[in-house]
Amino acid sequence: MNMAVNTGNYGAFMEEFVLPPSPTSSSPPLSSLTFAVKDIFDMEGYVTGFGNPDWLRTHSAATSTAPTVLAMLNAGAICVGRTVMDEMAYSINGENVHYGTPINPCAPDRVPGGSSSGSAVAVAAMLADFSLGTDTGGSVRVPASYCGIFGFRPSHGIVSTEGVIPMAQSFDTVGWFSRDPGTLNRVGKILLQLPDEKVVHPSQVLIADDCFKLLSIPSARVTKVISASIEKLYGGHILQPISLGDYVESEVPSLKHFMENKIENEEFSIKSLVALSTAMRLLQRFEFKNNHAEWVRTVKPKLGPGISQRVLEALNTTDEHIDVCVSVKTQLQEALSRLLEENGIMVIPTLPGPPPKLQTETTSLETFRARAFSLLSVAGVSGFCQVSIPLGKYEGLPVSVSLIAKHGSDGFLLNLVEAIYDTLKEQVEIAEKLSY
């Protein structure tokens, strides 16, 4: 079945349709909720488009539906369509030259974030109650932050990626979006196959002070909100500052292979996290090449600006230092597990600033992208779970914060977000009144 591009409804959908929930004799947990699906998930009878018309043209309809989509239908949710995404999942901006850029309901003159752009917009514009996306380098966390909604990247390997076009398997995850923490948690319980559990209090909450210095808005606008909320609910004794960059540099020795003596804009960079993002992107390029080089070289697809350059870089990647990248992943996961211990949480900015304006010059976008990846790579490389939480607006643009928990603590993190969000909203209102 060919897909018709939808120009209305914020441009979020590639194709709108209704897939009813699977028949069930009991009251399903997601009954009557609607959801949208990123055009990277297989759905029986439809061609998975991967954000590019040449991919759509050269592939056949899927013969089965991705287990994650089936899980939503079996839980009683109603699928309302497939959403626009960045080409080959290789961008965090959300602009697609072929199908258009979904309109960011939170900031219409700004990019929506990618690559799960349409999935985020569908939720932010209230066209669906929740949506499925994928997050390799940041493709759920970024559009969630830009569109002022919740976005969850699960622990790597916890949620099935079967029936999802791979981008880079060492980092690929299936994530999801919602407008409220309750829905985020309900969807998570299905995808993570979790029982109902009581909320466990965090044992410690580490505030990565050095990361908040990267923000282009006053850091207090975020740190005071989260700190006041935690103190009110659990006591200030569990709050601790940390220099994440220093810790990573001392505890991940393999990073020395990617450390540069001098980096651009050093005032707005953390050297060890820049090195971490370098290792992540190198391994990502290598795996993307293994997955898609043959198709790219055979079909020679038309790719948009930025995407074409990144695909070319991937195709020219060698296996040099790949073994070191794998060591970095292992060492970082071990180091952060020691740091957070049982039921610890780390607080970092989701991104260094608000969404860039539409059609921003490519070089400027790449500079911002590089800064963003130094933050995004923490969960990306460690494989830890991360949630982006909306915190209102600052000067009319969306603000967010991220919480990270260790691998496998997804249920704990989802429960915690639901438990603290009412208090967070109170503190956001105070912050907006006081203008800090």
Residue 261: which CATH number?
3.90.1300.10
Alpha-carbon distances, residue 258 vs 228, 275, 280, 281, 367 (angstroms): 37, 5, 10, 11, 18
Closest CA to 175 of 87, 113, 106: 113
Q: Indicate the residue among 140, 164, 191 that finishes a domain.
A: 191
- Give the separation between CA 412 and CA 162, rounded to whole angstroms: 25
Handedness of CA 183, 417, 9, 97 (dihedral sign): negative
Q: Indicate the residue among 168, 191, 214 that finishes a domain.
A: 191
Q: Is 343 in the same domain as 396?
A: yes
The total number of structural domains in the chain stands at 2
Q: Is 219 in the same domain as 187?
A: no
Q: Is 211 in the same domain as 77?
A: no
Q: Is 250 in the same domain as 382?
A: yes
Model pTM score: 0.96
Q: Is 275 in the same domain as 173?
A: no
Per the domain annotation, does 3 fall within a domain? no
Alpha-carbon distances, residue 363 vs 166, 317, 352, 370 (angstroms): 27, 21, 17, 11
Per the domain annotation, does 48 fall within a domain? yes
Per the domain annotation, does 4 fall within a domain? no
pLDDT for residue 217: 95
**Residues that are catalytic:** 38, 115, 139
* CA angle (280, 282, 286) in 5-degree steps: 115
Per the domain annotation, does 199 fall within a domain? no
Cβ neighbors of 151 (< 8 A, separation 6 or more) are 120, 133, 135, 140, 141, 143, 144, 145, 175, 176, 177, 387, 388
Domain that holds residue 371: 204-434
Per the domain annotation, does 2 fall within a domain? no
Q: Is 213 in the same domain as 138?
A: no
- Give the separation between CA 307 and CA 406, rounded to whole angstroms: 32
Which segments of 91-138 are extended strands (E)?
130-135
Three-class DSSP category at 250: helix
Q: Is 173 in the same domain as 268?
A: no
Three-class DSSP category at 356: coil
Q: Is 169 in the same domain as 264?
A: no
Per the domain annotation, does 196 fall within a domain? no
pLDDT tens by residue, the chain, 436 residues: 334 444 457 999 999 999 999 877 678 999 999 999 999 999 999 999 999 999 999 999 999 999 999 999 999 999 999 999 999 999 999 999 999 999 999 999 999 999 999 999 999 999 999 999 999 999 999 999 999 999 999 999 999 999 999 999 999 999 999 999 999 999 999 999 988 878 889 999 999 999 999 999 999 999 999 999 999 999 999 999 999 999 999 999 999 999 975 555 555 689 999 999 999 999 999 999 999 999 999 999 999 988 999 999 999 999 999 999 999 999 999 999 999 999 999 999 999 999 999 988 877 777 788 889 999 999 999 999 999 999 999 999 999 999 999 999 999 999 999 999 999 999 999 999 887 6
Per the domain annotation, does 1 fall within a domain? no
Give the position of tokens 């018709």: 4
Query: Exposure of 224 by Cβ count < 10 A (0-12 exposed, 13-18 middle, 19+ buried)?
Result: middle
Q: Is 349 in the same domain as 278?
A: yes
Q: Is 122 in the same domain as 208?
A: no
Q: Is 147 in the same domain as 215?
A: no
Q: Is 370 in the same domain as 407?
A: yes
The answer to whether 121 touches 11, Cβ cutoff 8 Å, is yes
Q: Indicate the residue among 161, 191, 221 that finishes a domain.
A: 191
Per the domain annotation, does 380 fall within a domain? yes
pLDDT for residue 8: 56
